[in-house]
Amino acid sequence: MIRFLVARLKLADGTEGEGYLLAFHFSTEAIRGALADVRALAMGREADATRGIRPCLRRGVRVFWQHRPAALGPGHRQPRDVGCTGAPVRPPRLAVAGGKAQRVPTYGSGGWLSIPSMKLLAEASGYVRRGFTAVKLKVGSADLERDVERITKVRDAWAQRSG
Amino acid sequence: MIDANQGLDYAGALALAKAGRATGHPLVRGTPLAHGLRRVCRAQAKGGHWRSRWASAEYDLVALRELAGRKASISGNRTSCDSAAWKAGLDSAALAREHGLPVLPHFYKEYDTALACTIPDAYGVESFDWVDGLIDRPVRIENGHAYPSDAPGWGFRSRTTNSSTWRC
């Protein structure tokens, strides 16, 4: 199951932004508790100076950040991302960043090694239907031949669907 | 697109490339190897120390070029969008350009689309479709391309179901 915790920040001047934490199956209550600790340390800091808070986190909530409670599993570091993506809700990001291009190529994610071939092909077909022209496949199976077989099947199916 | 971050090392990538070539499915002709620079990615994700890892980055670039010609790409996990991370991302893009390689951000297209539009050599952005149901304005996809939003900020807002409010 994929779950997100979203932190939405609204400043006194009306500036609003939000950050997220990809929570997966980790304990949301534990994460909420960690965020409560972070809140006190984060207040008053510049919104775009998120890295500067890390030393404070290590000092201020040492147990959480260094002993990695099992309740949070490997996602224990992710609460630091909350707020990182908080951006002033003003001009479009493209304008802020000074982008010139109007579009970029994209590819469909997925292709996990845990997915059986039939599901893999269905996933690729779905991407073709939705206007994608490329898809990602994970490789690195214990059996090299399995990787080659999966790639071959998807490429053949893709050629049929998109052709 | 081949993503080798589930256990494939350089030797394994070479073996897979050779096997693909033998079966008529060359794996590295025109397809980037995401996570080819895993050490760089990790260093970037951790922040602050990645500059000290230039040596390994250079090594990996040489290895990747040997494997994939000039079709490999630099891939990176960007876990934050603050000014330092953005600067690091631009430095990665400069490194890629120096080596004639395209750039593959490997994060959410909801953020990467606008940022990738700022560099001339973006190879592409990754799409996790399940994000579409979690936000109010999904990224427009047409003919294999993602279009940056013209709405304020990142151009979307998360849909939340169970919220609590803190006043500071």
Does domain A4-93 bear CATH number 3.30.390.10?
yes
Of A80, A98, A139, the CB nearest to B4: A139
Note whether A71 contacts B: Cβ–Cβ < 8 A: no
The Cα B114–Cα A139 span in angstroms is 29
The Cα A153–Cα B3 span in angstroms is 16
Yes or no, beta carbons of A136 and B3 under 8 Å apart: yes
The Cα B106–Cα A109 span in angstroms is 10
Q: Are A99 and B146 in contact (CB under 8 A)?
A: no
pLDDT tens digits in sequence order for chain B, 168 residues long: 666 555 566 666 667 767 766 666 555 443 444 333 344 444 444 443 333 333 334 334 444 444 443 333 444 433 334 455 555 556 666 766 776 666 777 678 888 888 788 877 787 888 988 888 888 899 999 999 999 988 877 788 888 777 666 665
Q: Are A95 and A128 in contact (CB under 8 A)?
A: no
Yes or no, beta carbons of B111 and A85 under 8 Å apart: yes
Single out the residue of A9, A80, A7, A18 nearest to residue A50, CA to CA.
Answer: A80
Size of interface A-B (CB pairs under 8 A): 200
Note whether A101 contacts B: Cβ–Cβ < 8 A: yes
Amino acid at site A52: G
Domain boundaries, chain B: 2-131
Q: Are A5 and A31 in contact (CB under 8 A)?
A: yes
DSSP state at residue A16: E
Domain boundaries, chain A: 4-93, 117-162
Q: How many residues does chain B have?
A: 168
Yes or no, beta carbons of A140 and B7 under 8 Å apart: yes
- What tokens does A121 get? 């092909």
| Half-sphere exposure at residue B95, Cβ-oriented, CA atoms within 13 angstroms | 24
What is this structure's pTM?
0.69
Residues with Cβ within 8 Å of residue B24, at least 6 apart in sequence: none
> Which chain B residue shows the shortest CA-CA distance from A123?
B129
Q: Which helix (H) or strand (E) holds A94?
A: helix A93-97
ipTM: 0.71
* Residue whose entry in the numeric block shows the structure tokens 């579009």: A103
Instruction: Tell me which chain B residues have a C-beta less than 8 angstroms from the C-beta of A136.
Output: 1-3, 34, 126
